Amino acid sequence: MNCLEISGEVCHVDLVRYTPAGIPALNLTLKHSSEQIEANLKRTINCELSAKIMGNDEDQTKEYIQSVIKADFAEAGDDDVFRKVKADFDNKNISNDQQIRSKMDELLEQVKKDYL
């Protein structure tokens, strides 16, 4: 069985709030940075994930982050990540395609500015 583990750090956490149904909701930002070798070339991977996670405990949160990062390996480009995040947002009725794409573009530009 293949296994991929990626660590990260919590760089921002808002106060926990509760939905009218009493479900805890937490906004947080996680950052990950590493170097990998692909085709004998070093590749820097930077991942900043802003996630709205509702009702998840710490283990579920880690699993979700891993699933988004793994989705990025499905195909070249970022459409695989977009589809994953969109599907998860749709399931929670918080989806907005333009907001997701806009945030992805913003983070890509930041990486280009920082590393290119």
Indicate which CATH number applies to the domain containing 101.
Answer: 2.40.50
Tell me if 26 sits within 8 A of 51, measured CB to CB: no
- List pLDDT tens digits, range 11-21: 777 777 888 88
Dist. CA 69–CA 32, nearest whole Å: 10
Q: What is the mean pLDDT of residues 93-102?
A: 72
The residue that leads in pLDDT, 13 or 42, is 13
Sign of CA dihedral 57, 24, 64, 113: negative
User: Considering the domain boundaries, does residue 84 fall inside one?
Assistant: yes
User: Considering the domain boundaries, does residue 4 fall inside one?
Assistant: no
User: Considering the domain boundaries, does residue 30 fall inside one?
Assistant: yes
Domain that holds residue 17: 9-115
User: Considering the domain boundaries, does residue 61 fall inside one?
Assistant: yes
User: Considering the domain boundaries, does residue 102 fall inside one?
Assistant: yes
Q: What is the mean pLDDT of residues 16-37?
A: 74
User: Considering the domain boundaries, does residue 1 fall inside one?
Assistant: no
- For residue 42, what pLDDT is reported? 52
Q: What is the mean pLDDT of residues 21-33?
A: 75
Dist. CA 87–CA 83, nearest whole Å: 6
How many separate domains does the chain show? 1
Where residue 5 falls among pLDDT bands split at 50, 70, 90?
low
- Residue 103 scores a pLDDT above 50: yes
The residue that leads in pLDDT, 5 or 44, is 5
- Residue 93 scores a pLDDT above 50: yes
User: Considering the domain boundaries, does residue 17 fall inside one?
Assistant: yes
CA dihedral 96, 115, 3, 1 (to 10 degrees): 100
Q: What is the mean pLDDT of residues 23-32?
A: 74
Which among 59, 64, 54 is positioned nearest to 16, based on CA atoms? 54
User: Considering the domain boundaries, does residue 21 fall inside one?
Assistant: yes
- For residue 102, what pLDDT is reported? 78
